[in-house]
Amino acid sequence: MFIKTFIAYHRLNRVQRTLLWSGGAFGLLLLFILVAYLYVIVTLPDVDELKSKNPQKTALMELRLKQAAEQGKKLRIRQYWVPFRRIPKLMRQAVRITEDASFYKHHGIDTDELWNAMKTNWMRGKYARGASTITQQLAKNLYLSTEKSIWRKVREYFIARELETNLSKNRIFHLYLNVIEWGPGVFGVEAAARYYFGVSVHQLTPSQMIRLTAIIPRPLTLDPRSRNSRLLWKCRWILRKLKLYGYITTKQYTTWLKNFQ
């Protein structure tokens, strides 16, 4: 049988052989995609418990502890859970319009922002702009690593969909504000308020809220209390967005802008 198959193969012309190999390669690709999809589905975390249970540890916390240990350092994790209603409305608005303005409209993935990010990265020839929603960022913080890879993004996508399916938008946002990294060992908005400004989150001034929001993309390299030019630019940008969305008045904008000059 093998000999007959071998002879039949060699009787094919070049085009026929190419088509045969292409079909085989395509079949293997489909098989790989199917196996990868099934693996992702089978290994999805159970997010249903997050409806009423606050996670005490996240994948990012574990990663930071491991990194510190490898460097011979001891890292203290600071995190204090705070109810959603205790987080000032202005703080929530500032974070949302900065990190994911369409949060309450999409289902975990902002396709418009994703497309714009892909175009920007293609034009610049490098990874220059992300498009992760608040839900995707929560998925990464809770269950994944910080590596930039297609495989991680695929898992992030499916976990984000699970979060959106099982939890309310406010619950997702509540979890996000309580677990994201805000500095070395600092996780969650309450810990950030205490660590940087020595007050509880509901005691933050508008200027302090905006400063904390500004460091979210770079929590390990920016200090919200500094006069860093990049930080001050981001604070002014956030303030303009707050005014644009109608969350603050023109008078408030003019008054608070003086803090970031």
Cα–Cα distances in angstroms (integers) from residue 87 to residues 148, 237, 241, 244, in the given order: 31, 22, 19, 22
**Surface-to-core class of residue 244, CB atoms within 10 Å of its CB (0-12 exposed, 13-18 middle, 19+ buried):** exposed
Q: Where are the domains of the chain?
A: 1-43, 44-260
- Per-residue pLDDT of 58-73, as tens digits, reads 999 999 999 999 999 9
- Per-residue pLDDT of 22-38, as tens digits, reads 666 556 555 544 554 55
- The rounded distance, in Å, linking the Cα atoms of 49 and 16 is 55
- Triad 222, 223, 227: Cα angle to 5°: 95
Nearest to 202 by CA among 71, 88, 46: 88
Structure confidence at residue 147 (pLDDT): 78
Helix (H) or strand (E) holding 186: strand 186-187
- Per-residue pLDDT of 66-119, as tens digits, reads 999 999 999 999 999 999 999 999 999 999 999 999 999 998 887 665 655 444
Q: Quick one: CATH architecture of 44-260?
A: Orthogonal Bundle (1.10)
- Per-residue pLDDT of 152-204, as tens digits, reads 888 999 999 999 999 999 999 999 999 999 999 999 999 999 999 999 999 99
pTM for the predicted model, two decimal places: 0.81
Nearest to 87 by CA among 3, 197, 169, 209: 209
Structure confidence at residue 15 (pLDDT): 57
